[in-house]
Amino acid sequence: MGQEEINNSDTICAIATAPGGALGIIRISGPRAFEAVSAICALRCDAVGANTSHYARIIEHDAVMLQHQTIIDETLVTVFRAPHSYTGEDSVEISCHGSRYILNKVLELLVQHGCRMANPGEYTMRAYLNGKLDLSQAEAVADLIASSNQATHQMAMSQLRGGISSKLSQLREQLLKLTSLLELELDFSDHEDLEFADRSELLSLAKNIDIHIARLAKSFETGQAIKQGISVAIVGKTNVGKSTLLNRLLKDDRAIVSDIHGTTRDTIEDTIDINGITFRFIDTAGIRQTTDTIEQIGIDRTYAAIAKARIVIWMVDKEPTQEELDKISFITENKKLIIVRNKIDKAGNTPFTIVKVPLVEISAKHNQNIDQLEQTIYQAADIPTLSDTDIVVTNARHHDALVRAQKHLQRVLDGLHNQLSGDLLSEDLRLTLDTLAEITGGQITPNEVLGNIFKHFCVGK
Ligand SMILES: Nc1nc2c(ncn2[C@@H]2O[C@H](COP(=O)(O)OP(=O)(O)OP(=O)(O)O)[C@@H](O)[C@H]2O)c(=O)[nH]1
Ligand SMILES: [Mg+2]
């Protein structure tokens, strides 16, 4: 959606439902919504009560012989009157039968009667522009539609209900208090003894705000992990049963399993949910010395997968070699490591101890202790249990604004430490406020920025 294409005086229409269902909903919004719908069915939208539903036949009139008409569908038409609609404008929703032909025909008729096809996210953008939602809530709508498990749903719902907005308005109040205290200090600047008392109060107030912004910014890590799925690389030497484990976790024959060493050549990824959180498992090529060029490329990819993963499962079988065990230490610091000893159904058992790393003994092939492994993986992810009131930042734009706000606030803190005068600090305070306001949209008006945010939505929302 480019800058010039945003025209809010148009009446827009789109299919709001995914194809293939028994019903299909068409949404119409804008100043001529009632007129356009009334032109294609016998319902006088402007004469019916607000927020009421009505049975109506959609009718196409022959362009030449007007008395010739074709019934396109029998539908339910719901009329929403401004400002009590999703967009804040006059809006209509037509529930048709879910046929592609019917839906496209109805759209075609609406366009003939003055509507235009909506751009992605245009309804939600209008809702924002009409003050029905702030920008972070509008963005939560897209997240809500995309949510695929309990955790992503909960985060989107909390944001939609204004979680981050109310947290930010608390911070805003604190920043305004700081600003007014600074002004007060300026007014009394000739009383030298007063200044020091005020400064310590100012400093503790600023520090407190900083802690809260930092906490929000930090929550983005969790937010990202939950939104994108937590990556778990399954690595180890060849033939230990990595692909068997992947298949077991996915409950699907996703990867080829064989007793030939070096079966897996490329990384294979898929996701499962554990306790409502998505984990992305990556099966990798077994690590061994090889002269095979293709296999070596696969092994290089294994190292790349380790580097990207948050959790690494290092798999050994019943008889791990010392060399294998020594390799464990090369896995870098920031990784959560889990050692999995596979094939416990087989005889033989080389004892080994590994300090401070969870060890889970399983049989991937015979489905032993897989639940226990899943719970160990879940614990390793270290996801804080989210309550309804927890605010988790999931949006990169919000995170970016928080980080920039923190930098401005840091300058305020430095200035307070260095006894800079209030007028020098107030500019950075104002920047902190403005930057935080970007998140809910207070400072954003350019169409370009809005277009960029809403273009990732689906059409019809
Ligand atoms: N007895 C027993 N055999 C297993 C178990 N898990 C896997 N295997 C067997 O071990 C062999 C290797 O399994 P894969 O899953 O292909 O091993 P991999 O680690 O992916 O091997 P590469 O892809 O070559 O690195 C197969 O014959 C599996 O059937 C287990 O728990 N017990
Ligand atoms: Mg394999």
Average pLDDT, the chain: 88
Probe ligand 1: pick from 239, 288, 315, 346, max atoms within 8 Å of CB? 239
Protein residue closest via CA to atom 27 of ligand 1? 259
pLDDT band at residue 276 using 50, 70 and 90 as cut-offs = confident
What's the pLDDT tens digit per position in 200-251?
888 999 999 999 999 999 999 888 888 889 999 999 999 999 999 999 999 9
Tokens in use for 69? 């008409």
Residues with CB under 6 A from ligand 1: 238-244, 257-259, 261-264, 285-286, 342-343, 345-346, 363-366
Per DSSP, the three-state class of 273 is strand
What pLDDT is attached to residue 436? 93
Contact 94, 23 (CB under 8 A): no
Considering only CA atoms, give the Rg of the chain: 30
Task: With a cut of 90, say whether residue 37 has pLDDT above it.
Answer: yes
Position with higher pLDDT, 29 vs 418 = 29
Q: Strand 23-29 vs strand 268-274: parallel, antiparallel, or unpaired?
A: unpaired
N-term to C-term CA, the chain: 14
Query: Ligand 1 mean position to 330 CA, how many Å?
Result: 24
Element (H, E) at 245: helix 242-250
Q: Is the pLDDT of residue 74 over 80?
A: yes
What is d(CA 406, CA 398) in angstroms, rounded to the nearest whole number? 12
pLDDT at 148: 85
Tens of pLDDT along 438-454? 898 875 555 666 676 67
Q: What gap in Å lies between CA 385 and CA 382, rounded to an integer?
A: 9
- What is the pLDDT, as a whole number, of residue 197? 46
Mean pLDDT check: name the lowest of 44-53, 153-162, 325-334, 375-384: 325-334
Q: How far is the CA of 235 from the centre of ligand 1 (A)?
A: 13
Could you give the percent of the chain with pLDDT greater than 70? 91
| pLDDT score at 159 | 86
The confidence score (pLDDT) of residue 171 equals 94
> Which pLDDT belongs to residue 1?
44
What pLDDT band is residue 150 in, cutting at 50, 70 and 90?
A: confident
Report which bound ligand comes closest to the CA of 239.
1
Residue nearest to atom 13 of ligand 1 (CA): 241
Report d(CA 354, CA 357) in Å as an integer: 6
* Residue whose C-alpha is closest to residue 147's, from 121, 220, 453, 139: 139
Which ligand sits closest to the CA of 236? 1
pTM here is 0.73
Asked if residue 461 has pLDDT above 90, the reply is no
Q: Are 290 and 165 in contact (CB under 8 A)?
A: no
Give which of 361, 356, 359 is closest to 344, Cα–Cα.
361
Do 129 and 54 form a contact (C-beta atoms < 8 A)?
Answer: no
* Main-chain dihedrals φ then ψ at residue 433, nearest 5 degrees: -60, -45
**224 vs 53, residue with greater confidence:** 53
Which of 276 and 377 is assigned the larger pLDDT? 377
pLDDT (tens digit, 9 = 90+) per residue, 305-331? 999 999 999 999 887 887 877 777 766
CB-based burial, 72-93: b 16+ in 10 Å, e otherwise: bbebebbbbbbeebbbbbbbbb
The residues, ordered by sequence, that sit 6+ positions from 445 with a Cβ below 8 Å of its Cβ are: none
SS3 260: coil
Ligand nearest 315 Cα, by number? 1
| Span from the CA of 280 to the centroid of ligand 1 (angstroms) | 20
Distance 29 CA to ligand 2 centre (A): 54
Q: Which of 243, 380, 223, 353 is nearest to 298 (CA)?
A: 243
Mean pLDDT check: name the lowest of 65-79, 174-188, 332-346, 352-366. 174-188
The residue-averaged pLDDT of 342-350 equals 84
Quote the pLDDT of residue 186: 67
Tell me the pairing of strands 359-361 and 336-341.
parallel
pLDDT in tens, 99-149: 999 999 999 999 999 999 998 889 999 999 999 999 889 888 888 988 888
pLDDT band at 345 (very low <50, low <70, confident <90, very high): very high
Residue 55 has pLDDT above 50, yes or no: yes
The pLDDT value recorded for residue 158 is 86
β-strand pairing of 69-80 with 91-97:
antiparallel
Q: How confident is the model at residue 457 (pLDDT cuts 50, 70, 90)?
A: confident
Q: Residue 355, Cβ neighbours under 10 Å: how many?
A: 4
Which atom in ligand 1 lies closest to the alpha carbon of residue 237?
25
Report angle CA 121, 127, 132 to the nearest 5 degrees.
145
Q: Looking at residue 70, what is its pLDDT? A: 93
In this model, does residue 332 exceed pLDDT 80?
no
Nearest CA to ligand 1 atom 8: 241
- Residues 386-404 have pLDDT tens digits of 665 678 898 889 999 999 9
380 alpha carbon – ligand 2 mean position (Å): 23
Report the distance separating Cα 265 and Cα 96, nearest Å.
50
**In Å, what is the CA distance from 371 to each residue of 101, 229, 382?**
48, 19, 17
**288 alpha carbon to ligand 1 midpoint, in Å?**
15
String of DSSP letters for 141-203: HHHHHH--SHHHHHHHHHHHTTHHHHHHHHHHHHHHHHHHHHHHHHHTTT-HHHHHHHHHHHH
Tokens of 148: 């695929």
Provide the pLDDT for residue 386: 65
Six-digit token pair at 118? 């909506």
For ligand 1, the distance from its centroid to the CA atom of residue 24, given in whole angstroms, is: 48
Q: What is the percent of the chain where pLDDT is above 90?
A: 59
Are 266 and 285 contacting, i.e. CB atoms less than 8 angstroms apart? yes
Top mutation candidate among 340, 365, 369 for ligand 1, by most atoms within 8 Å of CB: 365
From the alpha carbon of 368, which atom of ligand 1 is closest?
Answer: 31
C-alpha dihedral sign at 298, 304, 310, 315: positive
In one-letter notation, the amino acid at residue 335 is: K
Which of the four pLDDT bands, split at 50, 70 and 90, describes residue 198?
low
Q: What are all long-range contacts of 69-74, with beta carbons under 8 Å and residues at least 24 apart? A: 72/102, 72/105, 72/106, 72/109, 73/97, 73/99, 73/102, 73/106
How far is residue 340's CA from residue 261's CA, in Å, rounded to a whole number? 19
Tens digits of per-residue pLDDT, 426-437? 899 999 999 999
Count Cα atoms within 13 angstroms, Cβ side, for 247. Answer: 17
pLDDT tier, 343 (very low <50, low <70, confident <90, very high otherwise): very high
Give the pLDDT confidence score for residue 447 in this predicted structure: 67
pLDDT level of residue 180 (50, 70, 90 thresholds):
confident
> What is the pLDDT averaged over residues 172-178?
90
The pLDDT tens digits for 248-265 are: 999 999 999 999 999 999
